[in-house]
Amino acid sequence: MRAPRLGGLGGWLLVAVAAVGMFASTPSSAGPDEPMHEATAWYVSSHGVPPAQGEHFLVPTSLWVSPCFGGHPETGAGCMPPRSANGGTVLAGTVYNYPPVYYLVVGFGERIAALAGRQYADVGGRIASALLSFGTLFLLSLYMRRRHPLWGSFLLLLSTPMAVFLGVVVNPSGWEITCGIALAAVLAEAAWTHLAGDSGPPIASDVLPRATAILLVLASLGLCLARPLGFVWAIGLTASAIVLSPTVRPRLYLRIGGAVAPGVAAGVLWMLTHPYKQGVMTPDGVVMPSTIRNLVDWFSQSLLRFPDRLHQMFGVLGWLDTAMPQLLVVATIAVWAVLLTRLPSVRKTAVLIGVVGIWVLPGVVEAAGWGAWPAWWQGRYTLPFALGFVMLLVLRSGRLIPRTVSAAAAFSALSLGTMVLVNTERYAFGLTAVELPASLTNPGLGVGRLVVSLTAGAILLLAGGYLAVQAWMRKPDLRPRLEPDSPATPR
């Protein structure tokens, strides 16, 4: 008996369940720098452009609530003021001058929700942010599900708890991650799949279909205008797709580059015309000199922090105080290692691009700003490229190891369910030093949100167990081998 596979929309549905659980279990202002992003969105939705550096303006109080639990894992969300107390306005301080696209959508949601009362403005912003990210993933799943039978598993295994969490709070990192995954999927279609017919060898064609070109332009613009470094990730993913291509088509690659170029140009132009002045966090408030010796030292320190960054990529939620349990981190790294080593061999150049984009380049960027803000890089900044790069790898070769892919997707569902429950425990009751509930009375989330988040976590754990059984029932994968000429040829 052949084990059923996870449908193209089935994977998205499980990711959506995780998003609902994270949404219900995360109180206001719990996202990274969320108050400033919420306030920026309110301003941009009215003025169309970000505020000037140092400008102050009025926003609904619900957008500028101080997270009393931030940095205090033992303190649940019960310390927050009641929503009824957030119906006024407050003067917001310096906020962000990132590209306005994401903030326009979030700000629209805030203003719609504020029609029912200013105390709901933050909820409207989160709903708009979640609809933008997960709605895009839904449309992408509709597009990809017939092209890749294992698409549901691919999307699920790449949805780390951190990626899902960032999608339900107000932070442009969530939208940037979504765009990175979308760009990788469309790049795979552009560079590889359409070169092959329904059967037989690749067709010698350098034509880039108009619909694919339009999707490339949109995905590139989305990624490059999400955050200041988006254009760097777009260039890296495009180079990776070209290097991973099983055939050499210089003219096609030029057309692909031309479709991605408008987004890259827009991102570079925005960064040059809107430089962000980062605050000084050194102990004495003085920027350390960027001498060659200091830069080398800072770069080395950044590289050594990679295990922490990797942990953050998988799941260190909120204000870096809701971490994935260590045992789960080790298991996650082991599962990903098995998945990536089981994939057929790829060119060394592609491996080099992955290492540079995920490990080396973040070290260079962090070292450049270390003098004013030591150790400022976070794993979430790398996720758009890291998840996009792995998406390229599994789209290219994942169908050759369906059992391994299915098992990795099952583990991802279990990981998401566990982190939804951990996030619920963190904000409902607080966590002790050994990650046990600090209190089991008066849940800070309220009974309704507690029930929703617990239900979502339970669904994910049950689904993960079911998928694990189905993966076990599959025939063992064939021994890994070199990738054949056409990644689109049916097997």
pLDDT at site 434: 74
Decide if pLDDT at 469 tops 90.
Answer: yes
Q: Of 412, 407, 384, 433, give the one whose Cα is nearest residue 328.
A: 412
Average pLDDT of every residue of the chain:
89
pLDDT at site 491: 34
Q: What confidence tens digit (pLDDT) does each residue in 114-140 have?
A: 999 999 999 999 999 999 999 999 999
pLDDT at site 479: 66
Lowest mean pLDDT among 80-84, 127-131, 273-277, 300-304: 273-277
Q: How confident is the model at residue 277 (pLDDT cuts 50, 70, 90)?
A: low
pLDDT at site 202: 46
pLDDT at site 276: 72
Q: How confident is the model at residue 465 (pLDDT cuts 50, 70, 90)?
A: very high
**Contact call for residues 483 and 346 (beta carbons, < 8 A):** yes
pLDDT at site 303: 96
Structure tokens at 31: 């996202």
Decide if pLDDT at 488 tops 70.
Answer: no
| Average of per-residue pLDDT across 279-288 | 72
Q: What confidence tens digit (pLDDT) does each residue in 152-168 have?
A: 999 999 999 999 999 99
Exposed/middle/buried for residue 334 (C-beta within 10 Å: 0-12, 13-18, 19+): exposed
**What DSSP letter does each residue of 426-442 carry, written as one string?**
HHHH-B-TTS-BS-SSS
Decide if pLDDT at 242 tops 80.
Answer: yes
Q: How confident is the model at residue 50 (pLDDT cuts 50, 70, 90)?
A: confident
**What DSSP letter does each residue of 314-328 carry, written as one string?**
HHEETTTTEEPPHHH
pLDDT at site 366: 94
* 3-state SS assignment for residue 457: helix
Q: What confidence tens digit (pLDDT) does each residue in 377-433 have?
A: 999 999 999 999 999 999 998 888 999 999 999 999 999 999 999 999 999 999 887
User: How far apart (Å, rounded) are the C-alpha atoms in residues 419 and 244?
Assistant: 33
Lowest mean pLDDT among 80-84, 85-89, 137-141, 287-291: 287-291
